[in-house]
Structure 1
Amino acid sequence: MLIKRLEPQVIERIAAGEVIERPAQVVKELIENSIDAEATEIDVEVIDATEISVSDNGVGIPKDDLALAVERHATSKIISSEDLFRLRTYGFRGEALASLAAVSELSILSRFEKDECAYELKSHFGERLAIGSASHPAGTRIRFQRLFDNIPARKKFLKSSGAEIAQIRRTLKSFALCHPKVTFRLRNQGKLQDFYQKTSKPLLRVQEVLSTKPLYHLLGEENGFRAEIYFSSPHEVVKTSQNIWLFCQNRWITDRTLQSAILESYRNLLMHGEFPVVYLNLTVPDDFIDINVHPTKSQIRFLDNRVVFRFVHEKLREALHQAPWNSDRNVSADDASIDWPSRHAPQTPPEPNQWVNFEFTPASQQKDRSVLGNDSYQRVDFANENIQPMSSRLLFSSSAVSQQPQNGDTKSQFCEDLFSALGAPQGGFWEQMPILGQLRKTYIACKGASGLIMVDQHAAHERIMFERLQQSWKSGHASDVQRYLIPPRLTLNSEAVEALNTLAEQWMRMGIELEVCGPEEITVNAKPTWLTDKALMGALEKCAKELVELGGSFRMEKRLSDLQSTMACHSAVRAGDELNFEEMKSLLKQMDEFPLSGFCPHGRPVSVEWSWRDMEKDFGRIV
């Protein structure tokens, strides 16, 4: 078969297929041109998926440049090959308008800022018509219709008009996010569908576009890298990753490294299937990135993905550990307290056998089952304690209620005794919260400022244990350790044994002592008291596999985090464990020590709130 030179029309259609995949891609290219032209107002008008116009108030195109605008590889953005490595504009290939002209009926109407009138160029599927004068304000309007009519094979792969317009709206959102000082409008068949007014406050624009409030701002810089991040609290989650918006050098991109860095930052804060709302705009040195990877410019390459991952992960993780959402919940002690009666409450709890029954257990009788030492939360073996039966451990028993006198003075004393036993609110957010009781031996009921708050005792204690285990590991002080009389052996391949042994010091900080006893065998001489053999061996095998396949100390840190989560879960107070008042108070007090105490290490919420308003609606008091 002889080699032949392709016809120009065939070449143009092949090139257009690489640059223009669907209508949203066309809109993206045209908006990029508008922003490069310094526009402050951009309007997108959609008639249907194949007929769209984009207008702006930018500097416009001079009459003499109109013909060049639809020539392939003609651009005002770059001059030499060196410019590819220091791009400051969106466009640089000079292919978008030429590709669009080849597959549609195209009209470019523009008035250059120094010209007295506007000029219009029309193109019919690659055939350029004469340029004529027209009336138009300063700026440019580009309209295309009958998209892909000359390429039926491409047109039949377009999705429904609704699906294509939804993608156009998403494209507009991406520009609205990173250009808050530009006004964007989208009209669908004459009706205004999206409107983003320009603002000098980026946070307001991001919250408006992502429809999430509040969002928290982070600006991190290090060694020429800069990350501006707006992120949601773990309370505000969605079911897909579509609300993780990634930008690099102000370009909307898709990148697995950056997305993994964000999701890893939220590790131990989200449940499976939950995703945060995040806007990330990353700026890196020019010589660290290659933007010229694909004609759509949505894919990029970093010189070293690990550096980028570590930078984004560390900055976002540090911000999350500060739990800025906690500042939103802080209320005064007066707002968070029970409505105290006018008479002063007595300072000592009521006498035994009165209606309030908390069954305080002396500390000397409590059994320490915690890995955290003497200052930790204490648990009681209720099976061996001499505790009188109670009715679901409610605050007042039926016999006590029946003994209440009915006169007004005694009613006040009745309330005073209750509130005195609860204790006046003081200390941190959780410590100052009045405790109402324990429900189903699983939940601690508290009175919050705006509603009834239920605290999952297992999830709360699990987070406390997890955080303290992490603290002990980072400080190098291992928790309670037990040595084996007969050390268990783990058989692995030689690479896995070497990988585990290389990080022996890190394991030792966790209280796990490993010893190589053969080329393919390793023994465990010691382990933390509360970690089961099964959990330990499974974690070691999985960690060894990941270290061999993926390498890096980050995998070690992640695996240790999983181990610590397992340890915390196995040693925390369980659902079904009965707690006395002192134990519940101690648990809430310890929650104030850790900013992330609102979530267990598996991402489950520690507390839920039933607001007074919802309560009144459920009771039919309000509508």
Structure 2
Amino acid sequence: MSRPVVQLPAKVANQIAAGEVVARPASVVKELVENALDAGATRVVVSIEGGGAQRITVVDDGHGMSEADARLALLRHATSKIRQVDDLTAIETFGFRGEALPSIASVSRLTLRTRAAGEEAGVELKVVGGGPPEVAPCGTAPGTTVDVGDLFFNVPARKKFLRATSTESAHVTGVVREIALSRPDVQIELVRDGRRKLRWLSAPSRAERVAAVLGDDALIVAQGERGPVVVDAYLSSADRARTGAGGLHLFVCGRPVRDRALARAVAAAYGDQLDKGRYPVGALFISMPLDLVDVNVHPQKAEVRFAHARAVTDAVYSVVSRAIHTDTTVVPASSSNSPSKTSPAKSWTTPRDTAVEPWTWSAEPSMPSTSMPNASTPSAAASGEPPTPPPYHPSARVAPNEPARGHDGPWRPVGEVGEGLAVLEGDGELVIVSLRRARAAALRRDVAASLDRGGLVSQRLLFPVVRDVTGEHAALAERVAPEATRLGFDLRRAGPRAIAVHAVPRLLTAVAPDALAELLQAHLGDLDALLDPMISRAARHPRHADPGLLQRLSSDDALVEGAVVARVDLTRIDP
């Protein structure tokens, strides 16, 4: 017999919501500090014990709450941040769902003490495991104090998966650092097990706060705008880059976010100064009209969606690249070159009523995918500014500032359609090309250039790949070994019926060695043909020496995707 459908009790619903909102102690700290900032706090003190699992206390000097508001704040979907559906398209505050406090209260022993400005006394509410609150008057300073004890005491499975105290403390520290970066006008303190660990007084500028939080007083300042997108970045030099984007803090309209595309755009702006997988240390702030970004896409509000994501990454790449590749100097973040004093609260976010023209499709060179209006911007020549860098393309690295002509004129990348297709524009024409074919062409070009220089560079394998073959193929492999060496392979006979590959071309090291050995075995005949004395001198020219193998090599999907290609210059493609 099927079970009837029932509406879950509030206590159960809150614990379900807590599974998304409250992942660990750092999640609690994030939600409570953001509530404090939304309440207009100018000073926030975060105290933790046992990594936050034992106790978390957040004290702020915001405007506080009345008893009625405090009671409502412990109910799901009760909030002061929004009133109607339209408000979701222009969210100015950190919080807006009304889920944080009831979710936290459902998995902890929570005490809320608050006093509104002008009130003679405050109010204290105690909640244990999502139960009914115990309410009593109390004496407290104006503002709010939230004390969260024994986190996950009633959800032992969740508590079991908390990490070591030091790990959880590190996550809390990371959250506090991000909040400090986003709000230089607020004094932030972190107390750990009774000892003050971090303290940042309110800073007169964003640059000074970034320098204080990151512990670096020499940062590259990259500032600029593309239409309604304003970019303000403070980044380390390439020699201080790290593996992974953990040291690069991203903020959209004052909100800390995770966004791989933005991080890749910053790294790509450094060009050849950064190896693949390395990112600068620093902070990137992006401001835009609030109706062009959707923050209601992630349970913990850690991700956002842009109305025109490609235009945003192009703006970031362009502004950062201009700073990195021109005469911009690494300057002290507290110097006169830093931005002017930041006004309080949300002054760096774009107001809701800012008038912005609709985004339009345009052939403006600096914005290939989507152009944003900026009619007042003077030309580079008239203003003396450096030339605008080329657009950022996540799937193809374009050679910067390299004039080129394609079929009948210069081809300019416009955007992408579908999967793996690029739109190019030139001389009034629009053409669609395959990015896979572009990579294949680049792979053939790099191989041909290496052959012109005498051969491909090899990368020795830690363990040779041994393959069983026929006696005929073993003899053939021994005969063509010198030609294989020129292609970057170290091919040896390993017995009467076996061959071994000891090295592979360096530009193919991302491909599995077994796959390369299989390819080489399959095309031993192509290499053997090169030894035929009847082959003409033209055919033996380095650029044409291996037509069969090169053609097959650039047709293999795994090789094309795994090849370390120097660059894919879409402006030189012949459609």
Range class of TM-score, shorter chain? 0.5 to 0.7
Q: For the residues of structure 2 that align with 1:545 and 1:118, how far apart are their CA atoms?
A: 68
1:237 — aligned with what?
241
5 Å matches for 1:318-397? 318-325=322-329
Structure 1 unaligned runs (5+)? 329-468, 478-494, 506-520, 550-554, 564-623
TM-score for both structures, normalised by structure 2: 0.60
| 1:80 is aligned to 2:84 | yes
1:118 — aligned with what?
122
The answer to whether the 8 A contact 2:11-2:131 is kept is: no
Task: Give 1:40's match in structure 2, choosing from 33, 39, 42.
Answer: 42
Could you say what secondary structure the match of 1:35 adopts?
helix
2:297 — aligned with what?
293
1:302 — aligned with what?
306
2:4 — aligned with what?
3
The answer to whether the 8 A contact 2:82-2:96 is kept is: yes
Q: 1:165 to 1:561 in 2, by over 3 A?
A: farther
Could you say what secondary structure the match of 2:178 adopts?
helix
Q: For the residues of structure 1 that align with 2:424 and 2:62, how far apart are their CA atoms?
A: 59
Task: Give 1:219's match in structure 2, choosing from 217, 220, 223.
Answer: 223
Q: For the residues of structure 1 that align with 2:186 and 2:30, how far apart are their CA atoms?
A: 15
1:25 — aligned with what?
27
5 Å matches for 1:439-588? 473-474=402-403, 532=451, 558-560=567-569
| 1:268 is aligned to 2:272 | yes
Q: 1:503 to 1:133 in 2, by over 3 A?
A: closer
Q: Which residue type is aligned with residue 20 of structure 1? A: V
The Cα offsets for residues 497-532 of structure 1, whole Å up to 9 and x where unpaired, read as x97997999xxxxxxxxxxxxxxx999999999775
Q: For the residues of structure 2 that align with 1:120 and 1:260, how far apart are their CA atoms?
A: 47
Task: Give 1:133's match in structure 2, choosing from 134, 137, 142.
Answer: 137
Task: Report deviation, 1:278.
Answer: 2.4
Task: Report deviation, 1:7.
Answer: 3.6
Q: 1:500 to 1:239 in 2, by over 3 A?
A: closer
Could you say what secondary structure the match of 1:306 adopts?
helix
1:380 — aligned with what?
none
Which protein is bigger by CA-based radius of gyration?
1
Could you say what secondary structure the match of 2:162 adopts?
coil
Q: 1:325 to 1:10 in 2, by over 3 A?
A: same
2:174 — aligned with what?
170
The Cα offsets for residues 88-109 of structure 1, whole Å up to 9 and x where unpaired, read as 1111000000101111111111
2:192 — aligned with what?
188
Task: Report deviation, 1:542.
Answer: 7.0
Q: Which residue type is aligned with residue 210 of structure 1? A: L
Q: 1:4 to 1:135 in 2, by over 3 A?
A: same
1:596 — aligned with what?
none
Task: Report deviation, 1:139.
Answer: 0.8
1:228 — aligned with what?
232
Instruction: Give percent identity, aligned residues only.
Output: 31
1:64 — aligned with what?
68
Q: 1:4 to 1:198 in 2, by over 3 A?
A: same
Q: Which residue type is aligned with residue 56 of structure 2? A: I
Q: 1:172 to 1:543 in 2, by over 3 A?
A: farther
The Cα offsets for residues 525-551 of structure 1, whole Å up to 9 and x where unpaired, read as 9999977557889899879979x99xx
Task: Give 2:150's match in structure 1, choosing from 129, 146, 150.
Answer: 146
The answer to whether the 8 A contact 1:226-1:282 is kept is: yes
Task: Report deviation, 1:9.
Answer: 2.5
The answer to whether the 8 A contact 1:539-1:559 is kept is: no
Q: Is the deviation greater in 299-308 or in 54-63?
A: 299-308
Task: Report deviation, 1:27.
Answer: 0.5
The answer to whether the 8 A contact 1:543-1:559 is kept is: no
Q: 1:256 to 1:229 in 2, by over 3 A?
A: same
Moved over 3 A (4+): 271-274, 325-328, 498-505, 521-546, 555-558, 560-563
Structure 2 unaligned runs (5+)? 333-398, 407-416, 428-439, 457-542
Task: Report deviation, 1:561.
Answer: 10
The answer to whether the 8 A contact 1:55-1:142 is kept is: yes
Q: For the residues of structure 2 that align with 1:470 and 1:290, how far apart are their CA atoms?
A: 32
Q: Which residue type is aligned with residue 474 of structure 1? A: P
The answer to whether the 8 A contact 2:22-2:103 is kept is: yes
Q: For the residues of structure 2 that align with 1:15 and 1:501, how far apart are their CA atoms?
A: 44
Q: 1:63 to 1:99 in 2, by over 3 A?
A: same
Q: Which residue type is aligned with residue 44 of structure 1? A: V
**Count of matched residue positions in the alignment of Structure 1 and Structure 2:** 384
The Cα offsets for residues 441-463 of structure 1, whole Å up to 9 and x where unpaired, read as xxxxxxxxxxxxxxxxxxxxxxx
The answer to whether the 8 A contact 2:110-2:127 is kept is: yes
Q: Which residue type is aligned with residue 310 of structure 2? A: R
Aligned residues: CA RMSD = 4.0
Could you say what secondary structure the match of 1:268 adopts?
helix
The Cα offsets for residues 538-575 of structure 1, whole Å up to 9 and x where unpaired, read as 899879979x99xxxxx999423999xxxxxxxxxxxx
Could you say what secondary structure the match of 1:67 adopts?
helix
Q: Which residue type is aligned with residue 157 of structure 1? A: F
The Cα offsets for residues 388-420 of structure 1, whole Å up to 9 and x where unpaired, read as xxxxxxxxxxxxxxxxxxxxxxxxxxxxxxxxx
The answer to whether the 8 A contact 2:92-2:290 is kept is: no
1:278 — aligned with what?
282
Task: Report deviation, 1:236.
Answer: 2.4
Q: Which residue type is aligned with residue 303 of structure 2? A: Q
Could you say what secondary structure the match of 1:107 adopts?
strand
Task: Report deviation, 1:35.
Answer: 0.5
Q: Which residue type is aligned with residue 269 of structure 1? A: Q
